[in-house]
Structure 1
Amino acid sequence: MDGEPFPADGELFPRERTEIAPGAVHVPDWLGPGLQRELLDSCRAWARPPAGLRTVRTPGGGTMTARQVCLGLHWYPYGYARTAVDGDGAPVKPMPGRLAELGREAVAAAYGGPPPASYAYDIALVNFYEGDSRMGMHRDAEERSGAPVVSLSLGDTCVFRFGNTASRGRPYQDLRLRSGDLFVFGGPARLAYHGVPRVLPGTAPPWLGLTGRLNITLRVGGLGTAPD
C-alpha cells in the first residue's frame, strides 16, 4: 500500500462524516489527542466544588446514573437556574469563552460554512458515565433557541441512540460514539429524542488517562436571565 499507514485505531478504512438524519451529523475523530487531554483536564477542574459534579435526581424520586456538572447555567429537571439548585446551591461556574467558540467551530465542521452570529453557545452540560451508566431517551427542550446541540465525546465508546421527534420509541438509529467524536443535531432534528443505552468499558484510548466516558453537550439557551 505504498507505505500508507492504517488509521490509529487499526481499522482498514477511516470512519467518515455521516448525516444520520436531516440536521443530525456525526463527525468521527474531530477532536485531536491534544484537545481531548485539554478538555479532560478542564472537566476535572469543573467537577470540583463548589457547584461541582452531582447526582441528578428526577421528579419521580429516582436518580440519573450519569453524574453531571453545568457551566453557564445550571440544568435541572426540567429547567435552568443561575445556581446549583439541586446540588450545593452555589453559583454555577461561567461558560468558558474557548468552549463557546468550540461550539461554533463544531457547527461549521458538521454543516459547512460559518454558523449564524446567534449561535452564541452559553451553556455546557458535562455528563460522566461509568461502566454501568446510561441515559434514557429524552429531548433537549428547555432552551428557547433553535441553535443546534453540540455533543463531544471523551473516553469510553458508547452506544448512542438517535430517534425521532414524535416519541421515545422507533424509529431510531444506534451508532457508536468514540473518544474525539462530534455529534451535532439541529434543524428538523433539534428536538429528536436521544439517549445512551450502553457504555463499553475499557474502550477509552490508553493515552487519555480516563476510566469511563465524558460527554460535553453545548447549547444556546436563548433564555436571557434565568430564574434563581
Structure 2
Amino acid sequence: MSPMNFDLFADAEPEQVPRREQIGEQSFVLRGFALPWLERLLPALETVLAAAPFRQMVTPGGFTMSAALSSCGTWGWTTDRNGYRYSRLDPHTQAPWPPMPEVFFALAQAAALDAGFADFVPDTCLINRYIPGAKMSLHQDKNEASYAAPIVSVSLGLPAMFLFGGFERNDKSQRVPLFHGDIVVWGGVDRLRYHGILPIKAGQHPRLGEQRINFTFRTSH
C-alpha cells in the first residue's frame, strides 16, 4: 500500500511504513521517532507555553494565520505587517523568548543525526498549533542567516498531510501523511524546497485532543 493512500484517521499508525522514508535527495520522514521522548517533551512544552502562549499572528499581507504560533530558544520567529523575521524578544510581552528545553534540543539533534546531518545546533524552535481546518500555505524557510543547517519538524497529535514541493511555488508537491511522533528532516540540496500543510481534518487524538502540535527547529543565526 502506498503511503499516499493511508487512512489518516486510522486507530493506529500504518505498520507498513518504513521507519525512515526518503522523500528527497536529502529529505527524510523518521516514522515515530519522537514517541520515546513524549513523557519529557509534553511537560517541557507546557512550561514554554506558560511563558509564551500561542497567538494568532498576522502576515505582512494583513491575513491572520490559521495556525497559532509560539517560540522558544535564543531567537523566536514572528510575523506582522512589517514582515517575517526573527527576534530575541516576544513582541507581545517584550520579554525574551523562553529558553529551549534541553529535551527539545536533544531530540532535534538526534533526529538530524539520524537523517545524516551531524552537528545540528538549533537556536530557535517555532511551535505551531493547528486545530481542524487550520493549514499552512506552501512556503520556503528562508529567514535564516545561512541555509547550511537542516530543518527538523516534529509532528504531535492529529495527523496531517504534508506538502513537499520543489524550488518554485508552482512545482508539483508530494503529499506525505504525517502521524503522531513523526519527524521530517530536510536540508542540503533540499533545504529551500517549498512545503506546507493541508487543512487539518476533524479528529480526536487520545493524548492531545483536537489539535496538531508542530515543532520546527532551525539555526537562524
What is the TM-score of this pair, normalised by structure 1?
A: 0.83
Match of 1:220 in 2: 219
Q: Which amino acid aligns with 1:217?
A: T
Q: Which amino acid aligns with 1:26?
A: V
Q: Could you tell me how far apart the structure 2 residues matched to 1:130 and 1:105 are?
A: 28
1:1-228 equivalence runs, <5 A: 9=12, 11=14, 13-32=16-35, 34-49=36-51, 51-72=52-73, 73-77=75-79, 78-85=84-91, 87-111=92-116, 115-116=118-119, 119-145=120-146, 146-165=148-167, 167-202=168-203, 204=205, 206=206, 208-221=207-220, 223=221
SS in 1 for 2:106: helix
CA spacing shift, 1:163–1:125, aligned 2, 3 Å: same
Q: 1:11 offset after TM fit, Å?
A: 4.0
Q: Which amino acid aligns with 1:40?
A: L
CA spacing shift, 1:10–1:134, aligned 2, 3 Å: closer
Task: Tell me the matched-pair count.
Answer: 205
Q: Could you tell me how far apart the structure 2 residues matched to 1:137 and 1:203 are?
A: 26
What is the TM-score of this pair, normalised by structure 2?
A: 0.85
Q: 1:126 offset after TM fit, Å?
A: 0.5
SS in 2 for 1:143: coil
Is 1:157–1:203's contact at 8 Å kept on the other side of the alignment?
no
Q: 1:180 offset after TM fit, Å?
A: 0.4
Larger CA Rg, structure 1 vs 2: 1
Q: 1:12 offset after TM fit, Å?
A: 5.5
Is 1:159–1:174's contact at 8 Å kept on the other side of the alignment?
yes
5+ residue gaps, structure 1, are: 1-7, 224-228
